[in-house]
Every structure is written in C-alpha cells, then in structure tokens.
Structure 1
Amino acid sequence: MTAAGDARDEGEQMLSPASVDANDRAIDTAFRPQHLDEFVGQQRVREQLSLVLAAARARGQAADHILLAGPPGLGKTTLAMIVAHDLGRPLRLTSGPTITHAGDLAAILSALTEGEVLFIDEIHRIAKPAAEMLYLAMEDYRVDVMVGKGPGATSIPLEIAPFTLVGATTRSGALPAPLRDRFGFTANMEFYPPEELAQLLRRTAGLLDLELPDDAIMEIALRSRGTPRIANRLIRRVRDWLVVHPDAAPLVAVRDTLALYEVDELGLDRLDREVLGVLIRQFGGGPVGLGPLAMSVGEEPDTLESVVEPYLVRSGLVLRTPRGRVASPAAWRHLGLTPRPTDAQPTLMDD
C-alpha cells in the first residue's frame, strides 16, 4: 500500500462515524455528574435528597420513593442516576408512555432485585391500570396478577423485592393523588439562575477542551432559559463554530453561533418568536385561547403549553388570564412594536 493510501486509511479511521459516535457518547456520559456534591445548582433539593439517601444507607434498607418534579432539562434523569450510584444499587430505566398495560409493569417489577432503583420518566403518562398496580407495589412490595378472563379470572399475589422508585414528571398535578401521596420525598426543581448555569458551563467547557472567557460563558448562560440541557447544547454548537472558525474571538463566536441558531438575547428561539408574533399581529396581543394559538403556528397545544409557554410566562412576555393568553408590553417591545393601549390590567390565572 502506498504512503498516500496509508495516510488516507489513517484519516478515515480517525474520522469514522463509529469513532465520532463513541467520542460523543463519552462526552455525554462525562457531562453527567456521578455524585450529589458534583451536581451544580438545586441546593435545597440536594440537601434534602442527601438526607434521604444517607438515612437509607444507615438503615441498610431501600430508600423512600422519590418524585422529581419540574420543567424539562433540569437534571431529573441525572439525579436518578446519582440516587442509584450513591445507594450502590443497580438502576433500571423506563418511561411512562411505554407502560401501556399492567402486565408491562408487572414484568418490570418482578425482575427487580432487592434495593434496585427503578426510574420511570414521564411517570404522569403511565397507563391507569399500571398506575393502580403501582400503588400496591410501592406500599406493600406486592402486585396482584390476574390470570384468565371473565368470571373465571383469579388474582394471584406476587411478592416483589423491596425497591426504590424514582419518578420524574413535568406535570406533577397530572399524577393521580394516590400515586403522588405514596412518594416519601418530592423534589420540586427550579430553573437555574445565570450564575449557576455559568458554573455548569465552565465544567462542560473543560470536558470539551474549550477555553472560553467569563464574558463568553455568561453570554451563553443568559440565553439558556435557565436550563442546563439547553446550556450544554449551545456550548457544543459554539465548539463546532470555533472548530470551523478557529481564529474567531470567543465572544464573537458565541454571538455568531447563537445568531445562526436563531437564539436571541432573551434566549427565545424561532418558535418562541413565532408564537409572540402570531399572538400580537394576528390576535392583536390577545386574549386568545391555547387551541387557536397552537393551530396558527402549526404546533400541538401540548407542545406550546409544556415547552414554549412556561418560559414566555416566566420571562414576563405572556400573561395567562381567564380569557386566554395575552402579550405583555415587554413582548411588543421585544418584537420592535409599540404596545397597544390597555384600559385595565388583565386578571391573571391562579395556575
């Protein structure tokens, strides 16, 4: 083989998709802290969870069941992994939408070993028959399996090993009350302030071998919507920009990257601005119901309510009123428009 062929083969090996995928997976794994003291932010939750886990280790028993509630991207899955790691127990992962029948859950529960941690993401979406089975499993470590159908069906009690359930939900209010009440500890996770996101981004930058000054780090933090998942995603795109444009100044690179991906100075993306634009230009600033608003932007109402609306409301750009969503004066100004005169302050919704 020629030297050119050797060089080509070496280059192809270095840039093979398998190598790139393995490297990305390693980075993704490294992003996740292994211990509570490595987890950035959520100080109150960390203190509360630390007590629960320390007490379980001292007793030599399975920890109380834990519910992690909060918006997407705040680290609920990472905390579930930390729970299993700190307890020294295996972790089994599943999600609510995949558990469509009680039999699905019975198969999972019967395979658990003593002290194992079962993580159910989006637990509010678990099927009702499975949720009812979970009540008994969480309380008495037992499930009743139905054998047969009709009048001849019989219920067979099946003992299961003591385990710790960690449930994650973005809508704790959607959980059935009997299920919610069986959790021994509920962690209510909050959005991150920019300073904590900056701390997290410095750790991520180190893992990516990326040198960014404090002003560039803070620029990313301020546009990350208080969400670590978004912050880590944006800094990886900044890394890509600097790989392609190695001579770019860091702060300029950050701003150019975020402009390319349509993330503005408030952290709004294309869909956020589209919702605000439709609300203001098509509906005169509101009030308008969620259904018509979602239809106008071509999205599902659930997407707007769970993904877009929380940040717009938290940023003071959208108000939720009994008559519908209303654009605030700040939203008009953000789009470069003059706020319409209002006769009275809208009445806000309690929820």
Structure 2
Amino acid sequence: MSHTCLFSCRGEDPPSQKKKKKLKKAEPIIPSPVLLPSGLRDIRGQRRVVQQLNMLCSACLKEYKPLPHLLFCGPPGLGKTTFARLLAYEMKTTIEVISCSFIHSPSHLVSVLSHLKTGDILFLDEMHAMNRSCSESLYHAMDHFALEILLEKGKTSRPLVVPLNPFTLIGATTHPGRLCKPFLSRFEAVLVFEDYTVEELMEIVLSASEKWDLKMEQDAAEAIAIRSRGTPRLALHFLKWSRRFLLSSRREFLSEQCVLEALELLGLDAKGLNSIERKILEIILNLYEGGPVGAQVLASHIGESVETLEEVYEPHLLREGFLIRSSRGRCITKKGKAHFQG
C-alpha cells in the first residue's frame, strides 16, 4: 500500500511530513484543520445525520462496542470524510482513510485490515470505484471479522482463515447505485448527506472568518453561500479566494461588493454558474431553439466527454431548474432561459 493514500489519526489530521518554509512578507499560511469542527456538536447542517451518529456513538460507548458498518452517500464536498474523522474523535479511536481508486487488488485490503486494532475505523472513499473482487473480499471481514485467503488455485485450493480485530468500515460514495446489493446489505445503516441551505452555509462561512480573524459583512457571507451549490467545500474555497482578493486590493474588510468582484474574477455569475455551464444554456437556447439536444452532441460542443457533461456540468443546472433531461435529450427551462437572458 502506498503511503500517499493511507494515513492514521486519532480524531485529527495527520501531521505534514515536510516542514513548510517560512514566507517573507506574505500572508500567513492558514492550516486547513482550523476550519474543522471540534466534534459532532459543532457541526452545522446535516441535522439528521448528526442525530443518527450521536445516537450510535452514545449506544456503542455504553456497550463498549465498535460502531457498526456505515455507508455515507451524497454528492462530493458535503463533509463525508470530515464526519468520519469526527466519529474517530468521538469514539476515541484511530481512523485509516483510503481512496478506493488506489485499491487494485484484494491484497491491498488484506495488508490494511490485518493492521487494524479493536475499534479502529476504516474509511473507504469513492467505494463505487472499487472493483468486484475487492468488494467481495470484504464480505467475510465485515460479517465475521476474519479474512479468507486461498492458498492455491484450482482443485488444490484451500482457504486460510485469518482472524481480524473487530473494526468499523465506513464507506463513502457519490454513486450508491453502482454498489452491488450483497455489499450494500452488509452496512447496518445508509446515511444520506443532503445539500446545505444558504443559511447553513452562511454560518459556516462566518464561523471560518472568525477563526481567521477576518472582518466580514453578513451580506458578503450570503453572496458566497448563494454561489456555493449547497456545498461547504465550495463555500470555504470561495471564502479563501475572496480573502486573497481582499488582501491584494488592500481593503479593510470583506464587503458584499468585494466578494462579488472576487467571484466575478473566477467567472461565476449570480447563481454560481461558470462559463461552461452558461455556454451549455446558450448552445441549447440559440443553436437548438431550447432543445432537445442529445448528450453526445452537447458534449462535443463544449469539447468534453459525455461523462464529464453529466457528472460535472449538468448537476448544478438540474439542481437550479435551468435544465431538464428527457428521453430525447436536454431542454432549457423557462427559468434557465430567464437566467441566461437576464
């Protein structure tokens, strides 16, 4: 297992392996952990998920048992990894974080599972990227805390059972439908992460600005929240960008106007659409009279693959109600037309 895709922590981020060089006469480096909540009690948003996890932590701590296997589902950027780290903190245990895109064979999982201690959490991100042989190798480990390894192949093959310490598997995926049913059935609970409201994102942005000792208007936080697509990760990225814009312009605080200028520099409009998303609306409206337009044709217009069109650019247009999909293709809505022409 490559050390680049695996780390351990006890409710904290791993320390950097290299010392950061000091910058002369430049803005201070702001470590990302300063933005992380200190526990589940400090989480803003995802109320149902927080309630579910608080209940599980309370029950398991009273019984002195590890958490059950859990599956986190939802779009990227909603805090699935952060929640897993906070669970490790609440349970006073260790978490191993691995991206499944790095796992190519069951042997990779064997080396990780065999080193887990009782109560440890194994967090597997992007579980939909795991191949079938790897996911099947987890069945026995999840059910019986043991590994079955075939010593030989063919008629002479015989299984070797390797016992494991009781652990918790937390999986995260943006595409739960790509997981096979036998795998899904082994998770005690599937926790669904939903988009954050503008109000919740405003709280996150204002809280981060306080931790950075950054003066910020309420309207400025709202401007960021509106354009953040219901995603804390984007909201914090936009806050960092706006802060750098503030420093470069030598203004004293982040006003709404300052934020709007900063995000305009990123190419974002009033609804957070970028140039490619606006181009998609323009193509459908002007070249195809509002649609329908096939995915392959539309993807060729923007110079991207159909997969990129569907997974990167269309979700926000669909969420905002600017675009609809039908069996015949993509069509722009009245709302989408009004936004583009407004």
TM-score (norm 2): 0.89
Secondary structure, counterpart of 2:215 in structure 1: coil
CA distance in 1, matches of 2:123, 2:36: 16
2:301 to 296, 302, 319: 296
1:168 to 166, 169, 172: 172
Q: Name 2:337's counterpart in structure 1.
A: 332
CA distance in 2, matches of 1:130, 1:147: 17
1:236 aligns with 2:240: yes
1:129 aligns with 2:133: yes
Q: Which moved more, 1:281-290 or 1:134-143?
A: 281-290
When the two chains are superposed, the root-mean-square deviation of aligned CA atoms in Å is: 1.9
- 1:136 partner letter: H
1:269 aligns with 2:269: no
Query: How far 1:61 sits from its partner (Å)?
Result: 0.8
* 1:182-231 alpha-carbon deviations (Å, 9 max, x no partner): 11121111111111100000111112221111111111111111110110
Secondary structure, counterpart of 1:183 in structure 2: coil
CA distance in 1, matches of 2:212, 2:167: 37
Query: How far 1:13 sits from its partner (Å)?
Result: 4.6
Superposed counterparts of 1:113-192, under 5 Å: 113-192=117-196
Question: Would you say the 8 A contact 1:118–1:164 is kept in 2?
Answer: yes
Q: Name 2:9's counterpart in structure 1.
A: none
* 1:216-258 alpha-carbon deviations (Å, 9 max, x no partner): 1111111111110110000111100110112377122111001
Q: Name 2:206's counterpart in structure 1.
A: 202
Question: Would you say the 8 A contact 1:73–1:230 is kept in 2?
Answer: yes
Q: Name 2:264's counterpart in structure 1.
A: 259
Superposed counterparts of 1:1-351, under 5 Å: 13-15=22-24, 23-24=29-30, 26=31, 28-247=32-251, 250-336=255-341
Question: Would you say the 8 A contact 1:45–1:189 is kept in 2?
Answer: yes
Q: Name 2:4's counterpart in structure 1.
A: none
- 1:269 partner letter: N
Question: Would you say the 8 A contact 1:40–1:199 is kept in 2?
Answer: yes
Specify which structure has the higher proportion of helix: 1
Question: Would you say the 8 A contact 1:97–1:127 is kept in 2?
Answer: no
Query: How far 1:288 sits from its partner (Å)?
Result: 2.5
* 1:80-107 alpha-carbon deviations (Å, 9 max, x no partner): 1011111111010101111111111111
CA distance in 1, matches of 2:135, 2:247: 48
- 2:140 partner letter: L
* 1:28-81 alpha-carbon deviations (Å, 9 max, x no partner): 111121311111101111101111111111110111111111011110110010
* 1:284-315 alpha-carbon deviations (Å, 9 max, x no partner): 32222323322321223222222322221111
CA distance in 1, matches of 2:187, 2:24: 47
* 1:118-144 alpha-carbon deviations (Å, 9 max, x no partner): 000001111110111112211111121
CA distance in 1, matches of 2:196, 2:269: 18
Secondary structure, counterpart of 1:225 in structure 2: coil
Secondary structure, counterpart of 2:341 in structure 1: coil
State the identity %: 33
Structure 1: runs of 5+ lacking an equivalent: 1-11, 338-351
CA distance in 2, matches of 1:247, 1:193: 29
Kindly name which structure, 1 or 2, has the bigger radius of gyration based on alpha carbons: 1
CA distance in 1, matches of 2:151, 2:286: 59
